Amino acid sequence: MIVKNSKTLLSVEGLRASINGTEILKGIDLTVKSGEIHAIMGLNGSGKSTLAKVLAGHSAYEITGGTVRFEDKDLLELAPEDRARAGLFLAFQYPIEIPGVANTQFLRLAYNTIQAQRGKDELDPLEFDDFVREKMKLLDMNPDFLDRSVNEGFSGGEKKRNEILQMALLEPKLSILDEMDSGLDIDALKTVANGVNQIANKDNATILVTHYQRLLDYVVPDFVHIIQSGSIVMTGGKELALELETRGYDWVTANKQSIAGAVA
């Protein structure tokens, strides 16, 4: 939702980043205010997932230009764990498997780390168990999840639910969801989308990184940005995603100048 007097959470200006000497992001500008939901759409290789990882601080990428402010902080100066503790969350496209580590143990460690950072009470295993079970209802998750090893043997849909569960637990200020819809059937997509909608409020913000419009039927964005070859070439409202759906990405390539001009 677009809220009056909302404050700016994320401010990206001219961000450039490369991996192994190849420039992927070529000057990204993006402003996200509290209460807003943004969708970043693009083809494979357009740089949309790179943008997500760069904002979260993945060490494989080298920042070659631009600035990123997160609230009052210089985000690029912070280590990945400090970005997380400051309230930035990335739901992974491919969540990592950690054999032998019970999900509940991992979730509690993450939760308590963030709680400690916020000066709030940490939960012991029993308290946490009650707390996490309540959150799991939101995502229609089986309590068996808690005892299984983190993401090990999870189906695609289970992994994505587990990511959104972490988002629900950690209550980030800014969530970046990288390809949440990939590998989900329609029922799982609705459940995950429902979870995202319930977590969204006027004080936090969400960035959906996606290839398809499908997800946006269930999580309705306030802004849609189209990224191509490492820069945002079009920005519009939710109708831009629908337009893209009918006309395809080729249309963007052909019209980015005029449309960009029209939006501006």
Q: Residue for token digits 């357009």?
A: 46
Considering the complex, what minimum distance in angstroms separates the CB of residue 69 from other proteins?
A: 19
Q: Distance between CA atoms of 143 and 228, rounded to whole angstroms?
A: 41
Positions 134 through 153 that interact with other proteins (CB under 8 A):
149
- Span 61-100, contacts to other proteins by CB under 8 A: 79-81, 83-85, 89-90, 92, 95-96, 98-100
Least Cβ distance, residue 87 to other proteins (angstroms): 10
Nearer to other proteins, 117 or 194 (CB): 117
Over its C-alpha atoms, the chain yields an Rg (Å, rounded) of 18
CB contact at 8 A, 225 and 51: no
Sequence-distant (6+) residues with CB within 8 A of 162 are 95, 103, 141, 145, 150, 151, 154
SS3 62: strand
Question: Of 78 and 200, which CB lies nearer to other proteins in the complex structure?
Answer: 78
Binding mask 116-135 for other proteins (x = CB under 8 A): -x------------------
Applying CB under 8 A, the site for other proteins has a residue count of: 30
Told to check if 166 binds other proteins by CB under 8 A, we report yes
- Residue 165, classed as helix, strand or coil, is helix
- CB 89 to other proteins: min, Å: 8
Contact 41, 51 (CB under 8 A): no
User: What is the C-alpha to C-alpha distance for residues 248 and 180, in angstroms, rounded to an integer?
Assistant: 20
CB of 217 to other proteins, least distance (A): 28
Rounded CA-CA distance 197/185 in Å is 18
11 binds other proteins (CB under 8 A): no
Cβ distance to other proteins smaller for residue 109 or 254 = 109
Enumerate binding residues for other proteins (CB under 8 A).
56-60, 79-81, 83-85, 89-90, 92, 95-96, 98-101, 105-106, 109-110, 113-114, 117, 149, 166, 170
